[in-house]
Amino acid sequence: MTDARIIGGAGRESSGLITMLPAAIESMFRLSWRALRESWGLILALAILVLIFSQASPYFLNTLVLERILTNASFTLIMATGMTLVIATGGIDVSIGATLALSSMVAATLMNLGTPVLPAAMAGLLLGAGIGAFNGSIISYLKLQPFIATLAMLSLARGMTLIISGGSPAFDLPEAFTSAFKDEMVMVIGLGGLLLTMLVMHRTRLGIQIRGIGGNENTCYICGVRVNALRIGVYAFQGIMAVLAGYTLTASFDAAEPTAGLSTEWLEAMAAPIIGGNTMAGGRARLFGTLMGCLILATMRSGLNISGVPTAWQQVAIGGIIVGAVTLDVLTNRKKVS
């Protein structure tokens, strides 16, 4: 994919995007067809999971469970969408959990201090974008390993969260904020973010360039792609998605928790793209695969919960699935090469 279309460099994306819009529906149709061809194995895996769990527990086939799975998957999807792009550039961001906690805490604290909802929420989003941009900058200009750069950010943001909050949650948040990020809004944000990102990634030059960075950074640079700027943008986007996920979590708890994001949510945000067939080497952005990864993880969690399997075993199962997905990926790639 990273062919001659990259040549010509950046700078005309905005006009390109607008002319894209009328053709969006047709694009979506073609995209879905391609996604189905790429990810039929994942769809099959999901179907098998549903079948197993419906046999294992009489309570599994239930509208309440379906609603829970969709909501939980959407929550992971918000972060995983951003992560897919980061992975496509050949990077990783382990600081999402901490970014999520810090920005939510800042927004909630501002609201409790009397700041109106909109400016407070914007401040959180800006902070998230700033954290992401900072990550991207030190990776680009200081040539730090993405893992190390974001690990440092994890510690930094988590510490700041504890300092700001004094260790206790910020509660009593305005109704206008919680209702904007609650219940079905989680699905709206998750799916909306995914669809927009899919359009950009698969139908614009920008998307090709982002994947190009992961494919071959030097070639991209020689072809005139503004590699560093794009990478910073991708990390900033990931930061914004982490903040949005944090807001939905804050809304559902009706409080900003200093320990939010410490749980396995950040791990699942990285696991979902990998299960979905995105390689850590970069150069590939299978967003539909990421969606399936989120659904598989959420189905598995709910299914195991309902079947009464202890949560420790669920972590073992998730680890197993990641190893399985990566192995499959490696094997299929090897076949293609040989």
Partner 1 sequence: MLSKLTKTVSLMAVAATFGIAAPVAAGEDRMALYERFGEIPVPSKEYRIGVILKTFNNDYFIDLKNGFQDAADKYGVKVEFFAAPGETDLLIQKQLMEDMLVRQFDLIAVNPSSTSNLLEPAARATKMGIPLINVNDAYISKEDQEKHNIDIISFISTDWAEQMRHHVRYCAEKLGDEGGQIAHIMGFPGSTAATQRLEGYETELAKFPQLESVAVLPADWDRKKAMDVAADMIQANPDIKCLSASNDNMALGAIQALKNAGKLGDMIVMGCDGIPDAVTAIQNDELTASVAFMQYENGYNTIEAAILHLEGMGDKIPETLFANQEIWDKSNIDDKIANYGRYYSGMAKLTN
Binding site for partner 1 (CB under 8 A): 59, 62, 64-65, 68, 72, 165-169, 171, 249, 252-255, 257-260, 262-265, 301-302, 305-306, 308, 310-312, 315
Residue number with CB closer to partner 1 (35 or 187):
187
Residue number, 140 or 252, with CB nearest to partner 1: 252
Shortest reach from residue 158's CB to partner 1, in Å: 11
Distance CA 11, CA 225 (A): 10
Look at residues 84, 49, 83, 85 and name the one whose alpha carbon lies nearest to residue 69.
49
Beta carbons within 10 angstroms of residue 59's beta carbon: 12
CB of 179 to partner 1, least distance (A): 13
The distance between the two most distant Cα atoms of the chain, rounded to a whole number of Å, is 63
Beta-carbon-side half-sphere exposure of residue 36 (alpha carbons within 13 Å): 6
Could you say which DSSP state residue 2 is in?
-
Contact 120, 176 (CB under 8 A): no
Minimum CB separation of residue 45 from partner 1 in Å reads: 20
CB of 84 to partner 1, least distance (A): 21
Residue 171 φ/ψ, nearest 5 degrees = -120, -165
- CA-closest candidate to residue 317, choices 331, 332, 296: 296
Please, which residue, 310 or 320, has the CB nearer to partner 1?
Answer: 310
- If the CB atoms of residues 35 and 267 are measured against partner 1, the closer one turns out to be 267
**Nearest distance from C-beta of residue 266 to partner 1, angstroms:** 10
Task: Tell me whether residue 66 or residue 126 sits nearer to partner 1 (CB atom).
Answer: 66
